[in-house]
A and B are shown apart, each in its own frame.
Chain A
Amino acid sequence: MPASTTPTSPLASSDALPEGEAPRRALPLRRLLLPGATVLAIALGSVFAVVIFGQDKIAALAEDTRNLLLPALTAQNDNAHDVERLILFGEELINSPDPAKRRQARLSAQMLIYDQSFRFDPQTRELGKGALATLVSIAEQRDRRDKLAGDLQQALLAAETSLTRSGGSESALRWLLVAVVTAGSEAALDQAVTDLTTATSGRDAQLRAWQPVAEIRRQILAIDRASATAWDQEARRLKAATDTLAAGAELRTRERITEIEGEAARARMVAILGLAGLAVLFIAAVVAARRWIVRPLLDATRVLATANSDQPQHQPPPSVVAEIRAITTAAQTLAENTRALDEERRVVVQVRLEAAPARPRGALRRAPGCFRPGSARPW
Chain B
Amino acid sequence: MKTWRLLLCAWLCLALQALAAEPLVVAVNNNDRPFGWMNDKGEPTGFSVDIAKALCKAMNRECRLQPAAFADFIPGVASGRFDFVVANILRTPEREKLVDFSDRFWRSSSTFVGQPGVVKAISRQELKGKTVAVQKGAVQERYLRELYGDVATIDTYASNAERNAALAAGKADLMLGSTMSHFAFMTAKGGERFEIIGEPIYDGGLGGDVAIPLTKGRNDLRQAINAAMTAILRDGTYARINNAYFPAGVF
Interface residues, chain A, with chain B CB atoms under 8 Å away: 78, 81-82, 85, 89, 100, 103-104, 107-112, 114-117, 119
A115 and B192 contact, CB distance less than 8 A: no
User: Within 8 Å CB of A103, what residues of B?
Assistant: 186-187, 192
Beta-carbon contact of B179 and A104 below 8 Å: no
Contact across chains for B187 and A81 when beta carbons are under 8 A apart = no
CB proximity of A123 to chain B, nearest CB, Å: 17
Whether B247 sits at the interface, judged by CB under 8 Å, is: yes
Chain B residues, CB < 8 A from A109: 247
With A107-B187, A110-B196 as contacts: A115 and B111 at CB distance below 8 Å: no
Task: Using A103-B192, A110-B196 as known contacts, say yes or no to A115 and B186 having CB atoms under 8 A apart.
Answer: no
Q: What are 9 of the A-B contact pairs (CB < 8 Å)?
A: A82-B249, A103-B187, A107-B183, A107-B186, A108-B183, A111-B180, A112-B247, A115-B248, A117-B248
- Bound-state CA distance A119–B179 (Å) is 15
Residues of A within 8 A of B187 (CB): 103-104, 107
Is B247 a contact of A85 with CB atoms below 8 Å? Answer: yes
Residues on B with C-beta less than 8 A from A114 are 109, 111, 179, 196, 199-200
B246 within 8 A of A: yes
The reply to whether B107 and A116 form a contact with Cβ atoms under 8 Å apart is yes
10 closest residue pairs by CB, A with B: A108-B247, A115-B248, A114-B200, A112-B248, A104-B187, A111-B247, A111-B183, A116-B107, A111-B248, A78-B249
Question: Which residues of chain A are within 8 angstroms of B196 by Cβ–Cβ distance?
Answer: 110, 114
Interface assignment of B15: CB less than 8 Å from any CB of chain A: no
**What 0/1 pattern do residues 178 to 198 of B give for CB contact below 8 A with A?**
011001001100001000100
Q: In the assembled complex, how far is the CB of residue A326 from the closest CB belonging to chain B, in whole angstroms?
A: 73
Q: Which of B193-225 contact A (CB under 8 A)?
A: 196, 199-200, 202
Whether A81 lies near B247 (C-beta < 8 A) is no
Chain A: minimal CB distance from B239 (Å): 10
Given contacts A104-B187, A107-B186, A114-B111, contact A85 B192 (CB under 8 A): no
Q: Is B121 close to A, CB under 8 A?
A: no
Tell me the smallest distance from the CB of B11 to a CB of chain A, in Å: 48
Cβ contacts under 8 Å, A117 to chain B: 248-249
> Which residue of A82, A85, A89, A107 has the most chain B CB atoms within 10 A of its CB atom?
A107
Shortest distance between the CB of B19 and any CB in chain A (Å): 37
Q: Output the nearest chain A residue to B187 by Cβ-Cβ distance.
A: A104
Closest to A78 in B: B249
> Of all chain A residues, which has the CB nearest B186?
A107
B181 to chain A, nearest CB (A): 11
B250 sits at the interface (CB 8 A): yes
| In the bound complex, CA of A109 to CA of B247 (Å) | 8
Cβ distance B251 to chain A, nearest Cβ, rounded Å: 9
Q: Which residues of B sit under 8 angstroms from A100, Cβ to Cβ? A: 192
Q: How far is the CA of A65 from the CA of B199 in the complex (A)?
A: 31
Contact B250 A115 (CB under 8 A): yes
Distance between Cα atoms of A81 and B247 in the complex (Å): 11
In angstroms, how far is the closest chain B Cβ from the Cβ of A313? 84
**215-251 of chain B: CB within 8 A of chain A:** 246-250
Tell me if B183 and A115 are in contact (CB < 8 A): no
Distance of B185 from chain A, by nearest CB (Å) = 10
- Give A74 Cβ to nearest chain B Cβ, in Å: 10
Docked CA distance A104–B200 (Å): 18
| Assembly CA distance A104 to B247 (angstroms) | 10
Residue of A nearest to B251 (CB): A78
Contact, CB under 8 Å: A111 / B246: yes
Q: Which residues of B contact A104 (CB under 8 A)?
A: 187
A82 to B199, CA, bound (A): 18
Contact call B248/A85, Cβ cutoff below 8 A: yes
Closest to B208 in A: A116
Interface centre among B192, B246, B249 (most CB of A within 10 A): B249
Q: In the complex the two chains form, what is the Cα distance from A312 to B45 in whole Å?
A: 111
- Residues of chain B lying within 8 A (CB to CB) of residue A108: 183, 247-248
Cα-based distance from A78 to B250 in the complex (angstroms):
10
Q: How far is the CB of A110 from chain B (nearest CB, A)?
A: 6
Bound-complex Cα distance A82 to B249 (A): 8
Report the minimum CB–CB distance from A15 to chain B (whole Å).
Answer: 84
CB distance from A167 to the nearest CB of B (A): 46
Smallest CB–CB gap between A117 and chain B, Å?
7
Q: A103-B192, A117-B248 are in contact. Are A111 and B107 (CB under 8 A)?
A: no
Which residue of chain B has the shortest Cβ distance to A113 in the bound complex?
B248
A117 CA to B249 CA, complexed, in Å: 9
Interface string of B155-186 (1 = CB under 8 A from A): 00000000000000000000000011001001
A110 to B187 Cα, complex, angstroms: 12
B179, B192, B196, B200: most-surrounded residue (chain A CB, <10 A): B200
In the complex, what's the smallest C-beta–C-beta distance from B202 to chain A, in angstroms? 8
Task: Give the residues in chain A near B247, CB-CB below 8 Å.
Answer: 85, 89, 107-109, 111-112
Q: In the assembled complex, which residues on chain A have CB atoms less than 8 Å from the CB atom of B107?
A: 116
**Residue among A78, A89, A114 with max Cβ neighbours from chain B (10 Å):** A114
Whether the Cβ atoms of A111 and B249 lie closer than 8 Å is no
Taking the closest CB of chain B, its distance from the CB of A303, in whole angstroms, is 79
Contacts of B249 in A (CB 8 A): 78, 81-82, 115, 117
CA distance A78 to B106 in the complex (A): 14
B107-148 at interface with A (beta carbon < 8 Å): 107, 109, 111
